[in-house]
Structure 1
Amino acid sequence: MTVTLAHLPAPSRAVVLACGGFLDQWAALGTPLSVRALRAAGAGGGHLRDWLAEAVAVPAGPGKLTVTARTRPGAYEPGDTVAAIDVDLDLPWPAVSSGPGPVVLGDLPLDPCGMVIGDAAALDSWVGFLPAARSVDGLADLRLDGRGEEEARARYSAQPLPVARGRLLHGWLDLPVAVAYERAAEINEWAVGRGHSAHLAFVDPHSHHHLGVRAGRRDPYGAGVIEVAGSAVVCVGWPPGEVRRFAAGRAFGQVFPVTLEDVEGRAALRWSVPPAAGSIV
């Protein structure tokens, strides 16, 4: 089945498909992502890699780009999962290649932290969780997770949080950061006194990474749309059982092809993740 995930702007005229874990580290590694991406897009597209940061950048047209996903049954968990991501680049095929498709741009590992698709310049503003998450809006979420959770949520009137692939958590959304840390400290002190987990309450500042994960929890395929530097960005995650299948990453050859495709005369970026051995596509 094919589902539409988003319609994205690309004002820089370059769109990026990136591994989310080190997305905010490009500038620290030497050159901002947008500089590298625009250079690659100007050459028709290419793979970018610096230490553990990886991405593919391609040229984009002036209109909004339609991002779709092809899905299949999950190999290790119930429900469907993303099998391929396509981005219509709003360009005619001759604008990206003088020959027939597909054009192989390289490959990417599936990042356990999720994959991110968006405008190259906007993603220079991405705030991740390393070295320490910071809030982009002054807010944070507080979740309860560990021994004593049921007693804590009754005592403190915790609310249900967005479902994470069938697992129901409780806590609070959109608290001022200071309030979230104060409440977490109070709950954890109470938990220790009751013999529960010492770290029962966890604070998640509103980094872009956290907001992307949170948005994906509301989607049956783990895909959510957030705003970064005024532009819509798609964040795609996989359920834990599927992620464990890909945990070895590039070091063990678990990388998947990224291509430019000719789709009825229009250029599209495609990243395909194959099914596990013995599973049904």
Structure 2
Amino acid sequence: MTAPSGVLVLGMASWIDYWPQLGRPLSERASAAASMGGGHVHEWMCEMAAVRAARDQPLKVRASTATSPFDGGPTIEVLEIDLGLPWAGTAGHEPIILGDLPVDRCGMVLGDALALDSWTGDGHPTTDGLADVTYWGAYADAAHRQFGGDLILRHGSHVRGWLDLPLEDAKKLGNALNDWKGDEQGRGVMVAVDEHTDLHRFYRASWTHPLRIGAIKVADCPVLGINWDSGDHSMRHRGERRSGQVYPVTLQPDHTGQTTMRWTIPPYAPGHDGAE
């Protein structure tokens, strides 16, 4: 991870590209918060934590994990980012609370503030003229006999499909799969046509990572996307901020006297899962 602008952002992937519609670009809001020692920025559905970071060196990212009580897989418990700056806290080694963030159902994005001004999310057209087509379901084998498609590993299970197709070819193939019926009752397969946006590229990069983390380039700058299992999110984080499902973001010193940003997600406690 690098932050050539000197400002690092941890934000909700759903809304990274919506900030300009609220008045000012993400980078301007993030820089203002970082200039005051770091902070949490929240307007409408958009949220992020922004901090100063070293411009001229790689920033290490670490995660400690816990076992999800719902799917048995690893889930992030603490996310730590070394900021490459000396600790400047005014109360000794006491952490500085920046605010809190929910776990976005579309994942979280960690990257340079200026680079994230170029982020393309859900609903944006393909950035390279390409798209991916995947399909799955009880009749996937029958559909494969008629349409073909590669076997694609995605978060521990397999789907069929094609990657990096020209957009118009992908749309035609998606329409044909949607129209196809696998039995006399009209049942077919589930189909997704995903245009190559930054959001989809992050998802795709995370398909084989045990923590659903994917690194991509945005505006020639490395950006980290962090996704959550949909079942784990539904049980632990559903409702997000409106249901009080938010988790503290702090600055604190490491053992060498350098500054670390930490996002801490407490263990799941039955009865506090955000259910409405």
Q: TM-score, normalised by structure 2?
A: 0.91
Name the counterpart of 1:4: none
My pick for the range that moved more, 211-220 or 145-154, is: 145-154
- CA distance in 1: counterparts of 2:187 and 2:15, whole angstroms: 30
Q: CA deviation at 1:198?
A: 6.4
Q: Could you tell me whether the CA contact under 8 Å between 1:146 and 1:197 is conserved in 2?
A: no
- CA distance in 2: counterparts of 1:239 and 1:200, whole angstroms: 19
Q: CA deviation at 1:141?
A: 0.5
Q: Could you tell me whether the CA contact under 8 Å between 1:144 and 1:153 is conserved in 2?
A: no
Matched residue of 1:125: which SS?
coil
My pick for the range that moved more, 42-51 or 181-190, is: 181-190
Which of 158, 173, 193 is the matching residue for 2:163? 173
Name the counterpart of 2:265: 273
Structure 1 gaps, min length 5: 1-7
Q: Could you tell me whether the CA contact under 8 Å between 1:148 and 1:200 is conserved in 2?
A: no
Q: Could you tell me whether the CA contact under 8 Å between 2:65 and 2:77 is conserved in 1?
A: yes
- CA distance in 1: counterparts of 2:208 and 2:17, whole angstroms: 24
Structure 2 gaps, min length 5: 271-276
Matched residue of 1:28: which SS?
helix
Counting only pairs closer than 5 Å after superposition, residues 42-191 of structure 1 correspond to structure 2 as: 42-62=35-55, 63-94=57-88, 97-100=89-92, 101-129=94-122, 132-146=123-137, 148-164=139-155, 166-191=156-181
Give the aligned residue type for 2:75: T
Q: Could you tell me whether the CA contact under 8 Å between 2:142 and 2:182 is conserved in 1?
A: no
Give the aligned residue type for 2:10: L
- CA distance in 1: counterparts of 2:96 and 2:171, whole angstroms: 49
Matched residue of 2:117: which SS?
helix
Which of 25, 32, 37 is the matching residue for 2:25? 32
Matched residue of 1:44: which SS?
coil
RMSD: 1.7
- Percent identity of the aligned residues? 38
Q: CA deviation at 1:154?
A: 2.3
Is 1:13–2:10 an aligned residue pair? no
Q: CA deviation at 1:79?
A: 2.1
Report the number of matched residues. 266
Q: Could you tell me whether the CA contact under 8 Å between 1:161 and 1:173 is conserved in 2?
A: no
- CA distance in 2: counterparts of 1:74 and 1:195, whole angstroms: 38
Cα deviations across residues 41-63 of structure 1 (Å, max 9, x unaligned)? 11110001110010000000121
Task: Rate the CA distance shift 1:266–1:67 in 2: closer, same or farther, 3 A.
Answer: same
Matched residue of 1:116: which SS?
strand
